[in-house]
Structure 1
Amino acid sequence: APSTGFQTALDIGTGSGVLAAILAKQGISSIIGTDTNPRAVACARANIVRLGLEKQVEIRETDMFPDMRADLIVCNPPWLPAKPTSAIESALYDPDSAMLTAFLRDAPEHLNPGGEIRLIISDLAEHLHLRPSGFLEKAFAEAGLRITDIMKTKPNHKKAANPDDPLAFARNKETTFLYRLKKT
């Protein structure tokens, strides 16, 4: 039995499939990862097969949520609410926080009773003044979600320490958060 007690999970905007793989390794028996980007879907499928997790994980090319409910819903959305300047950047940017807002709005109806939503997001956008502070808390409340736990980590990547990086001032202050959310 999985340590979490959750049997089913959705990984929305799976990208490379890394979160879906982690959930499978934690013993969740049925996971669906979704992404709209065909390249991401191909990459995630290849990673899942390479890791031997295809019995537990299915990757679907679809926008946001499949037509089902799950015990656990995870999302690591793009962190910057701005327009990408290239195809490769589209995984990093979420114009007007549209994906984040849609995720929070729709996630509760895809959650099984007693289920949990986990959102992994950085506060880089706040430090760059691209998202107002308090935006997330307001979005959680509007979606009928309450925070049950917050974990945080500071990045230790080289870019944060590089004085030549024009974003270093923000990266030095950046914190990545894991919000655990339940329906109110």
Structure 2
Amino acid sequence: MQEVAAKLITRHREITSPRTFELLGLDWDLLPGVYAPHLSQSSALYAEWLPYPLHGSFCEVGSGTGYISVLAALRGCASVTALDLSAAAVENTRLNAVRHGVDEVVHTAQGDLFEPLTSEDRFDLIYWNSNFVEGEPADALERAFFDPGYAAHAAYFRDAAAHLEPGGRLLLGFTDLGDENRVRALAAEYGWRAVPLRAAKCAAEKGHIEYRLLEFQQR
């Protein structure tokens, strides 16, 4: 797991100037220091798997380049909120919202998980493609991969219910490289149970990686 993350981080550090990449038939802006979706097979999978709430409200935690938030707007969400701890990621999301003409629908904010939100902010669907590797990040880029002690996951489950509309849905992108049993246990501590929605095995350098979309429902 650590080896896979280390190689992916190395590829990210090679991106030292703004550029564009292609994903799902669209062009996207990418800033240095921001997670690059085109370097992972999971990106297109999650984009196609997500049940975007038509005419509803969508919140993405850890928006990165913002491609998911932009797609949510393009696929019919009336209001999209994109959150990220990284200032570069927030700017990257804004750039892609402008690029695709949805900047009046996609609202960005910088902060840790739900920190930028108020008690009035509630959504029909909240989604996070989480930092599934348990380890210590050295900088903002590595925060996209590492979650020490799964503390961020615990906070996600602790605070999400306060920002869901009645009947709202809480989703998490994960992989078999992470400790799903521990994540499920953390979720249970805050009254959630995991329901697998989609999964796919993709070829990797050594064997395969299984990407999973999980929904968490309150008990």
TM-score w.r.t. the length of structure 2 is 0.69
State the SS of the aligned residue for 2:101.
Answer: coil
Match of 1:139 in 2: 186
Amino acid at match of 1:33: A
How far the C-alpha of 1:93 sits from its partner, in A, is 1.2
Residue 9 of structure 1: aligned partner: 58
Q: What residue ranges of structure 2 are gaps of 5+ in the alignment?
A: 1-50
User: Any residues of structure 2 matched to 1:1-184 within 5 Å, and which?
Assistant: 4-5=53-54, 7-65=56-114, 66-67=117-118, 68-126=121-179, 134-156=181-203, 160-161=204-205, 168=206, 172-184=207-219
**Structure 1 residue 22 displacement after superposition:** 2.1
1:91-139 CA distance string (max 9 Å, x none): 111111121111111111211101101110112124xxxxxx5212212
- CA shift, 1:88, in A, is 3.0
The DSSP-based 3-state class of the residue aligned with 1:45 is helix
| Length, aligned pairs only | 165
CA distance in 1, matches of 2:185, 2:140: 30
Identity of aligned residues (%): 30
Listed one character per residue, the Cα deviations across residues 36-57 of structure 1 (whole Å, up to 9, x for unaligned) are: 1111111111111111111211
| Letter matched to residue 151 of structure 1 | R
**Distance in 1, Cα, partners of 2:106 & 2:80:** 5
2:175/2:212 contact within 8 Å kept: yes
Which 4+ residue blocks in structure 1 deviate beyond 4 angstroms?
Answer: none
1:150 Cα offset (Å): 2.3
Instruction: Work out the CA distance in 2 between the residues paired with 1:98 and 1:35.
Output: 16
Greater RCO, CA 8 A, separation 6+: 1
Q: Would you say the 8 A contact 1:108–1:143 is kept in 2?
A: no
State the Cα distance separating 1:26 from its structure 2 match.
Answer: 2.0
Alpha-carbon distance in 1 for matches of 2:168, 2:152? 21
CA contact (8 A) 1:120 1:178 kept: yes
